[in-house]
Amino acid sequence: MEIARKYLLSTIFSLIILSFIIIAVLRSDHLLQFAPISSKPAYSVSMDQLRTKLSGENQLHAVRNSGEPRRNKFRNRPATRKLGTLEQRLAAARAAMRKVASESGGERSNHSVATTVHDGADRHSVPVGAIYHNARLFYRSYLEMEKIFKVYVYPDGEIPITHDGPCKDIYSIEGRFLHEMEHSAGKFRTNDPNAAHVYFLPFSVTWMVKYLYTPLSYDVTPLKQFVSDYVRVISSKHPFWNKTHGADHFMLACHDWGPHASRGNTFLYNTSIRVLCNANTSEGFSPRKDVSLPEIHLYGGEVSPKLLSPPPDTTIRRYLAFFAGGLHGPIRPHLLHHWKNHHDDDIRVYEYLPKDLDYYSFMLNSKFCLCPSGHEVASPRIVEAIYAECVPVILSKFYVLPFSDVLQWEAFSVQVEVSDIPRLKEILSAIPEDKYRKLKEGVKAVRKHFTLNQPAKRFDVFHMILHSIWLRRLNIELR
Ligand SMILES: *[C@@H]1O[C@H](CO)[C@@H](O)[C@H](O)[C@H]1NC(C)=O
Ligand SMILES: *[C@@H]1O[C@H](CO)[C@@H](O)[C@H](O)[C@H]1NC(C)=O
Ligand SMILES: *[C@@H]1O[C@H](CO)[C@@H](O)[C@H](O)[C@H]1NC(C)=O
Ligand SMILES: *[C@@H]1O[C@H](CO)[C@@H](O)[C@H](O)[C@H]1NC(C)=O
């Protein structure tokens, strides 16, 4: 009896799902601008060559102390003179970086690096200090990027889903990056696709969800279909995608479903650089080729004025730790379960903040800000905590932190295992005062890398994202 009922229920359930899929497929035909893929693709680069690029000799590797720049067979295809020059300049950049790596001989985070840099650059912006794995190497890489790096933005597709994105609320980084790239990226953008090192697919997954997704259907097929069609269009109109299977192409998405959408084209998923807020290694995020994107919550399109001027260091922060947020995702239930009704004056954990209490005032009044993953691994709290000069406490699993190939997160944040959530108070109270002061200094120093400027400024979040893409295109790891 019981079994028969279960069987019946699951059949009904399957039928419901199936009908949703059918409806979605029918609907998507009308919504999409491009026709579906039909024939089997024929690529100009064999899978063998592609694999050589992705593993083996051209695998991402730490900058070596010696050795010639590696030949990248994959990209030394029969090419125009221009392409040859492009690759030669990249090779020169790799060599310059290897030289710095060998000079610093494994020494990391040397606090006196600033005094050894003589290139006429603005001294205030020279990276220095414990927040970097290797500040000199990062600086060299950054300067090389400024010298040569060029991005081509595909002109194909129409507003709103392409060439536009949200500039407000939780996914604002999608729109802000896209607009900066399309309209103000200045020297980093080229209109000559033959002069580009990387190619940007300028679509917004957040707008796909807004315009193509059927609410509550939990069906991401229309998103995948759009991405699939977009790749088909650019790969038939332009020669660049087919030459590399998309290895020198990138997409950017902050929406939780960015990774799902990227499955619309297997090469985009497997081979291209995916710049994602939802950088979950358990869902296919590959730190060697993909880029972790910070989530920045802009209510009404701006950073809250409260976060622009945190209190001076002499101000006592009243609370040890603070969190307020909904009970979703795999981690927050633990946090709320242990700490929500704890009535502890040191650790303030709320599910919904009572109306008379102010979220940012809590952040500005706490030494540590708890940043648990929610529906996806990234949390806008991390960047808010940095703005509030509240040391972020990262509570996540499978999350690759933004810019972690350059930044030493241990120098400005605390990571606590999910299993240690019950011991949070013990762990945070045990951090000595001078260690806390150093962490806070780190938070202040790293702020500029998470700041949005209009137009963008050197070393700000736009340029850090671009630098992460640059490293993946160079096929080089800085650590
Ligand atoms: C790239 O490959 C696809 C799939 O085989 C093909 O339809 C398209 O025409 C190719 N693009 C160019 C520019 O040759
Ligand atoms: C930092 O670099 C300077 C100059 O390269 C060197 O003299 C000094 O010994 C280094 N300090 C550490 C702690 O490695
Ligand atoms: C993508 O990667 C998956 C898993 O490694 C593999 O099974 C699949 O064949 C790859 N597809 C392409 C087109 O490279
Ligand atoms: C990361 O991916 C794993 C595997 O799909 C999933 O179980 C986990 O919930 C994801 N993390 C978050 C915060 O979504």
Between 224 and 69, name the one with better pLDDT.
Answer: 224
Mean pLDDT (whole number) for 265-279: 97
**Average pLDDT of the chain to the nearest whole number:** 83
The answer to whether the CB of 373 is under 6 A from ligand 4 is yes
Does the beta carbon of 112 sit less than 6 angstroms from any atom of ligand 2? yes
| Of 75-89, 114-128, 167-181, 225-239, the least confident | 114-128
Q: What is the pLDDT of residue 201?
A: 98
Mean pLDDT over 82-86 rounds to: 71
Confirm or reject: Cβ of 376 under 6 Å from ligand 4: yes
Q: What is the pLDDT of residue 208?
A: 96
What domains are defined for the chain? 49-147 (no CATH), 151-299+456-477 (no CATH), 307-450 (3.40.50.2000)
Atom of ligand 2 nearest to the CA of 110: 1
Q: Name which of 57-66, 83-92, 299-308 the model is least confident about.
A: 57-66
Judge if pTM exceeds 0.85. no
| CA of 240, nearest ligand number | 1
Instruction: Look at residue 220 and tell me whether its pLDDT is greater than 90.
Output: yes
Q: Pick the range with the lowest mean pLDDT from 40-54, 121-135, 186-200.
A: 40-54
Lowest mean pLDDT among 119-128, 135-144, 227-236, 424-433: 119-128
Task: Indicate whether residue 233 lines ligand 1 (CB < 6 A).
Answer: no
CA of 399 to the centre of ligand 4 (A): 9
The preferred substitution site among 236, 241, 245, 268 for testing ligand 1, maximizing ligand atoms within 8 Å of CB, is 236
**Higher per-residue confidence, 40 vs 435:** 435
What's the confidence (pLDDT) of residue 62? 42
Q: Residue 11: what pLDDT?
A: 65
Mutate to test the pocket of ligand 3, among 54, 266, 290 (most ligand atoms within 8 A of CB): 266
Candidates 292, 397, 399: which one to mutate for ligand 4, based on the most atoms within 8 Å of Cβ? 397
Q: What is the pLDDT of residues 415-439, one digit of tens each?
A: 999 999 999 999 999 999 999 999 9
What is the 3-class SS of the chain, one letter each residue? CHHHHHHHHHHHHHHHHHHHHHHHHHHHHHHCCCCCCCCCCCCCCCHHHHHHHHCHHHCCEECCCCCCCCCCHHHCCCCCHHHHHHHHHHHHHHHHHHHHHHHCCCCCCCCCHHHHCCCCCCHHHCCCCCCECCHHHHHHHHHHHHHHCCEEECCCCCCCCECCCCCCECCHHHHHHHHHHHHHCHHHECCCHHHCCEEECCECHHHHHHHHCCCCCCCCHHHHHHHHHHHHHHHHHCCHHHHHCCCCEEEEECCCCHHHHHCCCHHHHHCCEEEECCCEHHHCCCCCCCEECCCCCEHHHCCCHHHHCCCCCCCCCCEEEEEECCCCCCCHHHHHHHHCCCCCCCEEEECCCCCCCCHHHHHHCEEEEEEECCCCCCCHHHHHHHHCCCEEEEECCCECCCCCCCECHHHCCEECCHHHHHHHHHHHHCCCHHHHHHHHHHHHHHHHHHCCCCCCCCCCHHHHHHHHHHHHHHCEECC
Place 61 in a pLDDT band, splitting at 50, 70 and 90: very low
- State if residue 115 touches ligand 2 by the CB under 6 angstroms criterion: no
Q: What is the pLDDT of residue 86?
A: 87
> For residue 330, which atom of ligand 4 is closest to its CA?
9
110 in contact with ligand 2, CB cutoff 6 A: yes
pLDDT in tens, 336-392: 999 998 878 899 999 999 999 999 999 999 999 999 999 999 999 999 999 999 999
